[in-house]
Chain A
């Protein structure tokens, strides 16, 4: 089935993937610290632990391709080329934010880079991505559209509506379900029947399950799916099995009366850290520890600069609250 096995097949640029995954991790860790300090105006949903999925998929995309994301959208924004400072300034409600402080964490979007936006409605991006796929098909420029949703979003009816319509029209669409174990505060097994990837099969759409903590596996599977879409052969559903290290929302311990998972489970998944795994793969592949250290230190600096600048940036003028509703 795989078209990626011959010797001329492209190979992932592992240092580049590592750099991008580490950027997401450090940005999100820093955001988690800010939440603890109480300096953040609104809720945030952190992507820590799932970095291999966004990065492995988006490595195949250009600014001319589209993605639609969800409430846990910072990783997708950064993986698709969104600017770290513009994202964090948005989350701080600053005028320099990518949406000038009018969207916030759940609505970071950059249309100039093909980012249709994070989305506060679970499953809300799925129809949008299908529409962008329709536009891409009409444009005939071999562009594709990708939607990221979770195992929670997989239970929205729009998934089957879009699988159906994308299959009939052969839309250049990749549906990426990040199965991170939890539908908000409910373990997936308690609210989700069967296998998510298998839901594609009745529509005649390939449904593929990958290890979402292995960026190389994600990269390979999405290379094939994106290739299919670009070639006009229609949609693919990719289920990436991963794990949400942090809460559904960062502040959840302040309002939840009981735990919904065991600490041991989190520890078990932390031992399968996709970034540590990629480091091992880099070292095995001959990358020097010194080169990895350079990347780490560069990312630390980039994250520090993004946060320092965003914190120093001005808040938007009040009058802007009354603008941009209509064109």
Chain B
């Protein structure tokens, strides 16, 4: 084990997988100079053929990822900010997500679309989205949302080796955050949740950057004799339903913390699963803690007002604890 920054863990994952498999290629805007540091040094190490700066042309980039994958490469397409997935969305939603199905499994499409997601940096509405709800609805795209350096490394390595398109979304404000990363080969399978903190009174499912708020809320609530279990799905599609349901059946209460807008959020899906499949175990209504159906504002005071934090999570847990039947 060694302490590493999240960005460093991602860089290691890319480097290790490119070393391991010569058919892994990477392209994106400014990946050589690397805006976030996650692709830094890769061009020097693996050469200008396998690591390429692209023009600012997301429609072409996302489509080329599909074509190159269909023609036998493992493609990492760096989209920079997650909002830019929208600009290149045809190839993701109409091509990558459907080509295997439409051709009855003739091909595999090993693609990772990676991007930085989320708010909290006064980057404004067009650089702050978490676009995973719409990706979850496509069916043909796996969605990975790490919250720690170790998970980021393990999930990205698994995503590159996966034979399906995966969107890997790293939390924007967590890039410099340190965490223990296991030494040597470290893989986190897609579709497996992780219990970040064990508890007995209430389950808090938290996604990406929200995991830290959930853990801090759990500390606060411990002082109030409320035992919080924090479950991090790590992958939103496929979702580890079994792990979430097992925790809900144990605690009987569920709060979901999601940086997405409320309508059709990942939280909505998780709530529906809990109500459909664990209704008899529930002692209180399920609560979603999400962003209201507004764009992310610029001013720090306004941005803070719309984003969940440890206080909003703690408040939601208290409500659920008091709303028992």
The interface of chain A, by Cβ under 8 A from chain B, is 66, 68, 98-103, 107, 109-112, 116-117, 119-121, 124, 126-136, 138-139, 145, 157-158, 161-162, 164-165, 168-169, 320, 323-327
Contact = CB atoms under 8 A, between A and B. Distances in A.
Interface string B34-61: 0000000000000001101011010111
B125 interface: no
A209 B17 CA distance: 45
Interface stretch (B63-71, B172-180, B213-221, B303-311): B63-71
A102 B102 contact: yes
Contacts of B322: none
Interface stretch (B2-10, B103-111, B129-137, B279-287): B103-111
Contact of A133 (B67, B102, B142): B67
A168 B49 CA distance: 13
Contact of A109 (B67, B106, B139): B106
A103 B102 contact: yes
B241 interface: no
B102 A128 contact: no
A327 B102 contact: no
Contacts of B312: none
B163 interface: yes
A278 B187 CA distance: 60
Contact of B103 (A102, A158, A169): A102
B93 to A, nearest CB: 10
B69 A323 contact: no
A327 B105 contact: yes
Contacts of A126: 60, 63
A135 B72 contact: yes
Contact of B55 (A66, A139, A164): A164
A139 B50 CA distance: 11
B105 A164 contact: no
A185 B103 CA distance: 29
B194 interface: no
Nearest to B25: A138
B100 interface: yes
8 contacts: A109-B99, A117-B99, A127-B66, A132-B68, A134-B73, A324-B100, A324-B105, A327-B164
Nearest to B109: A327
A242 to B, nearest CB: 25
B86 interface: no
A101 B103 CA distance: 9
Given A111-B70, A121-B94, A128-B67, A324 B55 contact: no
A135 B59 contact: no
Contacts of B265: none
Given A127-B66, A327-B164, A136 B71 contact: yes
Given A68-B67, A165-B54, A100 B94 contact: no
B116 interface: no
B104 A100 contact: yes
A107 B103 contact: yes
A109 B102 contact: yes
B61 to A, nearest CB: 8
Given A124-B90, A326-B140, A158 B100 contact: no
Given A131-B69, A327-B108, A124 B55 contact: no
Contacts of B122: none
B256 interface: no
B56 to A, nearest CB: 9
A168 B55 contact: yes
B91 interface: yes
Contacts of B54: 165
B110 to A, nearest CB: 8
Given A129-B67, A130-B64, A165-B57, A99 B90 contact: no
A107 B102 contact: yes
A109 B67 CA distance: 13
A85 to B, nearest CB: 16
A242 B107 CA distance: 33
Nearest to B67: A131
A112 B105 CA distance: 12
Nearest to A140: B49
Contacts of B139: 325
A37 B107 CA distance: 34
A102 B104 contact: yes
B285 to A, nearest CB: 33
B63 A127 contact: yes
Contacts of A157: 59
